[in-house]
Amino acid sequence: MSFSYKRPTDLERHTHDYIDDYGFKLRMERINSDIAQIYFLDEYDELTRVPHGIKCFNTRNQTKEYIQELNGIRCFLITWQNDYVVKYFGNEILSIINQKQQSVYRHY
C-alpha cells in the first residue's frame, strides 16, 4: 500500500486495524506535502490516546520520535524524507518506507 504526501486520500485507506490483536486502530493522515501524522482510534473510530507500549522510530536517523500534539490530537509527526517503524511493546507492527523514486523526462 502506498501513502501520498502530494494529495489527500481517503482516511479509511490509511487506517490499520489492530482491534482484535491490540485494541486500537492506527491511522496515517497527510498534514501537507511534507508532513503526516500517525494517531490512534478506538473500536468506535473515536480518537484515543497513544497506547501505552507504542513507540515510533525514525530508522534512517536511528532516533525515537516523540509524541506531539497537533490540533488537539496526540500523534507522531513523520516526513516523506525518512523511514519509520512503529512498535508495540517491542514488536514491529508497521513499517513506513520512503521509496525514493524520481520521474525522469528527456527534453529534446
Q: What is the DSSP string of 4-55?
A: -SSS---GGGGEEEEHHHHSEEEEEEE-SSSEEEEEEE-TTS-EEPPPTTEE
Burial of 70 (0-12, 13-18, 19+ CB in 10 A): middle
Mean pLDDT of 91-101: 85
Predicted TM-score (pTM) of the model is 0.86
Q: What percent of the chain has pLDDT over 70?
A: 94
Closest alpha carbon to 44 in 68, 72, 23, 14: 23
Q: 101 pLDDT exceeds 70? A: no
Q: 10 pLDDT exceeds 80? A: no
Q: Where are the domains of the chain?
A: 11-96
pLDDT for the residue numbered 98: 85
